[in-house]
Amino acid sequence: MSKYFLYQFNSGLPLQTPTAIALGNFDGVHRGHQQVIRTLVAAAPPDCYRSVITFSPHPQAFFTGEARLLLTPEAEKRALLSQYGIEQVIVLPFTHALAQLSPLEFVEQILVQQLQAKVLSVGFNFGFGRGRSGTAEDLRTLCAAFGIPVHIVPPYCRGSDRVSSSAVRAALAEGDVALARELLGRAYSLTGTVIQGEQLGRQLGFPTANLALPPDKLLPRYGVYACRVTGAAFANEQLGVVNIGMRPTVTGRQVTTEVHLLNWQGNLYNQEITLHLEAFIRPEVRFPSLAALQAQIAADCQVAANLLERVVSYA
């Protein structure tokens, strides 16, 4: 078994043991994931490092061979988990060797021998071991032989619907960022570095910041959104309107994410900023002229300002 996972993701820090572990992919760190983490933090003995085990690549991407866009790429996920009391994130490289471990071998070799786990927390639908043959109840049974308690967290529901990463993805595909916000417990966000664009917005009277996002970040439905904007460049949270898509009016050749700040001016190049998507304004459309596009942008800005006055944000 590769020892690579003995280093916290993107930090080079050696593993800290003994551990209290929440297991799962945690893509999105939505309200259901938060319940698993809170259960772990509450149950963790004081001498244990509160830890999350996740996998890279995503097991689904590993088995299908297809790249999988993520609600929370690794760096974003790690930052979110730390806000909920997680002290270290252990990324297991999902390899053929790992995929072939039986449930018992996974418990013995990974959890007991290498991670010195003292308590575990998992969601009710957690699967592990060769072919996902092990269930959450199997994990509890196997770990009992080593004196390790396993907390199995029931589904977290919004009404009669279970909160899940798939539900968040479905909401974003429709541009329903309000529903995504309820499922996540915060606004869906896009964090990137401001790069040089074509400066068309400036020519139209609405300068924009063009964001370079992580290549594996899942984008919502193409269109225009009202957003809140945060970053070290700002003393206070800013309001903005962001266009995500291909810019069909100017025959764009690649997907861009461009935000216009409603009440702020300045140089943001090379600055990292975060857009918290609060409301969907309209889908992306092709306008007959730049003048028509300019008029629509002005209208979008007014709609965004009105929406942001009313939206209750979790950001």
The per-residue pLDDT for range 203-239, each reduced to its tens digit, is 665 788 999 999 999 999 999 999 999 999 999 999 9
| Mean pLDDT, the chain, whole residue set | 90
CA distances for 259 relative to 101, 203, 240, 270, 301, angstroms: 46, 15, 6, 15, 11
Q: What is the pLDDT of residues 237-260, one digit of tens each?
A: 999 999 999 876 666 678 999 999
> What confidence tier does 315 reach under pLDDT thresholds 50, 70, 90?
very low
Categorise residue 138: left if φ over 0, alpha if ψ from -120 to 50, beta otherwise: alpha
pLDDT at 194 over 60: yes
Lowest mean pLDDT among 36-45, 270-279, 289-298: 289-298
pLDDT at 13 over 70: no
The pLDDT value recorded for residue 91 is 86
Other beta carbons within 10 angstroms of residue 153's beta carbon come to: 23
pLDDT at 6 over 60: no
Percentage of residues of the chain with pLDDT beyond 70: 90
Q: What is the Cα–Cα distance from 174 to 303, expressed in whole angstroms?
A: 19
> What confidence tier does 12 reach under pLDDT thresholds 50, 70, 90?
low
Average pLDDT over residues 88-117: 92
Check the CA dihedral 230-217-165-9 and report its sign: negative
Question: Is the preceding omega at residue 57 within 30 degrees of 0, hence cis?
Answer: yes
Q: What is the Cα–Cα distance from 269 to 177, expressed in whole angstroms?
A: 27
Q: What is the Cα–Cα distance from 46 to 88, expressed in whole angstroms?
A: 15
- Distance between start and end Cα atoms, the chain: 40
Lowest mean pLDDT among 77-91, 182-196, 271-285, 288-302: 288-302
Q: What is the Cα–Cα distance from 80 to 56, expressed in whole angstroms?
A: 17
The pLDDT value recorded for residue 205 is 59
Average pLDDT over residues 96-120: 94
pLDDT at 22 over 90: yes
Of residues 102 and 265, more confidence is placed in 102
